[in-house]
């Protein structure tokens, strides 16, 4: 069966380029699972690698087995070539990603594709996260990026966005989409996507550039987040969070799974607590991640001063700091707990904030994640 589209002029494309685009067209129409199943029935003369699959012989056999896609392959090519999108076939992907149980047959890439080969840590979590969780994710990603680790996440609302924001302030980050690159979801993150690319980061998807963001795409996307990572850190997650899918896939792929504890009464931490009970590594600071990765945890992160974890206990700062916990506390509540008058308390809080010990949120103050 041949595709119902005319061939391009011989002067415009080489035959291998034509096979490449015809394969992508089939992939967009049939999906990788169907192509995988069909490819398992290939004749002995065809090898298993993607290069053979997209060769003249491989494409001729595939097209005979699969229905012709309604999308013309020239239209697919025009949506990518001449834009800022590069296509990587499976043979060009990092070995760690090719080795997962269900590897992508191709990736569409914006930004430097070489970053996909850099050691990375995924930072994922709830879309409806707490302010504390978002701040922790941002600071954790900031410190990982400062230590030259590629921070990987899904550009979703909540923890994902916080992780990308933290990483772009210090280095590169990798966003894996559940939609096409030209149909970024959520649309409110278009500005963040631009910051990622402007800072030297990369955005990838296994879907056509114009592909919509169907709900089923996101669990599929999660296997790529874990597959590209050395470890997955779950910052906040409910019991039905998609981040738990990422954690399960990470375990199946042989990756380290780490989780951040939270309040025992917070529903957005229930999934993390389940992971910890099941043996996930506990993370309270970036040094815990380094230890899990086998990196010397005593090495200071570039760009951050080696301050202590808390101010001196007997100082005014220490007394105020001791009252802070996972949930933000208001100035009025701090004044009542410490016995400090408001002017003295505000001066003390300012010194703590300038020293990097506390963070001010709309609801009050919390300790800065370290």
Which tens digits make up the pLDDT trace of 242-278? 899 999 999 999 999 999 998 888 888 999 999 999 9
DSSP letter string over 4-42? SSPPPPTTT--HHHHHHHHHHHHHHHH-HHHHHHHHTT-
Q: What is the pLDDT of residues 69-123, one digit of tens each?
A: 666 666 677 666 667 888 888 888 899 998 998 889 889 999 999 999 999 999 9
Chain centroid to CA 237: 15
Query: Residue 307: how many CB atoms within 10 A of its CB?
Result: 12
Mean pLDDT computed over 214-224: 88
DSSP structural state of residue 200? T
Cis peptide before 186 (omega within 30 of 0): yes
Query: What is the spatial distance between Cα 22 and Cα 63, in angstroms, rounded to a whole number?
Result: 9
pLDDT value at residue 369: 65
Query: Residue 231: how many CB atoms within 10 A of its CB?
Result: 21
Mean pLDDT of the chain: 82
Query: What is the spatial distance between Cα 211 and Cα 214, in angstroms, rounded to a whole number?
Result: 9
pLDDT value at residue 167: 93
Mean pLDDT computed over 132-160: 91
pLDDT value at residue 265: 83
Query: What is the spatial distance between Cα 64 and Cα 348, in angstroms, rounded to a whole number?
Result: 75
Among 13-22, 49-58, 175-184, where is mean pLDDT lowest?
A: 13-22
- Model confidence band, residue 281 (pLDDT cutoffs 50, 70, 90): very high
The rounded radius of gyration (Å) of the Cα atoms in the chain is 24
Bigger pLDDT: 298 vs 217: 217
- CB-count exposure of residue 300 (10 Å: 0-12, 13-18, 19+): exposed
173-176: strand order across its sheet: 86-89, 106-110, 202-205, 173-176, 150-153, 120-124, 231-234, 256-259, 281-282
Q: What is the pLDDT of residues 312-355, one digit of tens each?
A: 665 788 888 888 877 788 999 999 888 898 888 888 888 888 77
Mean pLDDT computed over 147-162: 92
Percentage of residues in the chain having pLDDT higher than 70: 85
pLDDT value at residue 193: 92
Contact status, residue 284 vs residue 290, Cβ threshold 8 Å: no
Contact status, residue 62 vs residue 23, Cβ threshold 8 Å: yes
- String of b and e for 86-121 (b: at least 16 CB within 10 Å)? bbbbbebbbebbeebeebbbbbbbbbebebbebebb
Q: What is the pLDDT of residues 155-180, one digit of tens each?
A: 998 999 999 999 998 888 999 999 88
DSSP structural state of residue 149? P
pLDDT value at residue 132: 82
Q: How many residues does the chain have?
A: 370
Question: Hey, what domains does the chain have and what are their CATH numbers?
Answer: 1-82 (no CATH), 113-293 (3.40.50.450), 316-367 (1.10.10.10)
pLDDT value at residue 90: 83
Q: What are the contacts of 271-276 at 24+ separation with CB within 8 A?
A: 271/126, 271/234, 271/236, 271/237, 271/238, 271/239, 271/240, 271/241, 271/243, 271/244, 272/234, 272/235, 272/236, 272/237, 274/239, 274/244, 275/234, 275/237, 275/244, 275/247
């Amino acid at each position: 069966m041949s595709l119902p589209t005319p061939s391009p002029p011989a002067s415009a494309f080489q035959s291998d380029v034509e096979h490449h685009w015809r394969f992508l067209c089939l992939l967009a129409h049939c999906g990788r699972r169907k192509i995988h199943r069909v490819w398992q029935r290939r004749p002995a003369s065809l090898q298993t690698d993607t290069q053979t699959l997209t060769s003249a012989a491989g494409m001729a056999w595939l097209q005979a087995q699969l229905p012709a896609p309604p999308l013309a392959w020239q239209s697919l090519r025009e949506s990518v070539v001449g834009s800022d999108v590069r296509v990587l076939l499976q043979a060009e992907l990092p070995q760690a990603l090719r080795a997962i149980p269900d590897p992508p047959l191709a990736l569409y890439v914006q930004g430097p594709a070489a970053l996909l080969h850099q050691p990375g840590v995924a930072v994922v979590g709830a879309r409806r996260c707490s302010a504390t969780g978002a701040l922790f994710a941002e600071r954790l990603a900031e410190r990982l990026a400062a230590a030259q680790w590629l921070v990987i996440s899904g550009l979703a609302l909540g923890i994902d966005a916080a992780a990308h924001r933290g990483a772009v302030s210090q280095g590169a980050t990798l966003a894996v989409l559940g939609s096409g690159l030209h149909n970024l979801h959520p649309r409110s993150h278009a500005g963040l996507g631009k910051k990622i690319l402007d800072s030297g980061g990369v955005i990838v998807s296994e879907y056509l550039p114009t592909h919509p963001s169907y709900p089923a795409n996101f669990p599929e996307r999660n296997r790529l987040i874990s597959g590209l990572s050395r470890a997955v850190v779950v910052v906040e997650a409910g019991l039905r969070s998609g981040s738990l899918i990422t954690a399960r896939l990470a375990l199946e792929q042989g990756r380290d799974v780490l989780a951040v504890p939270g309040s025992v009464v917070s529903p957005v931490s229930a999934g993390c607590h389940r992971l910890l009970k099941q043996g996930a590594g506990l993370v309270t600071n970036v040094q815990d991640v380094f230890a899990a990765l086998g990196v010397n945890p005593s090495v200071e992160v570039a760009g951050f001063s080696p301050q202590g974890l808390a101010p001196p206990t007997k100082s005014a700062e220490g007394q105020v700091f001791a009252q802070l916990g996972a949930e933000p506390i208001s100035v009025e509540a701090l004044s009542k707990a410490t016995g400090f008058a408001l002017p003295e308390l505000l001066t003390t809080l300012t010194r703590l904030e300038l020293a990097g010990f506390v963070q001010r949120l709309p609801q009050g103050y919390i300790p800065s994640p370290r």
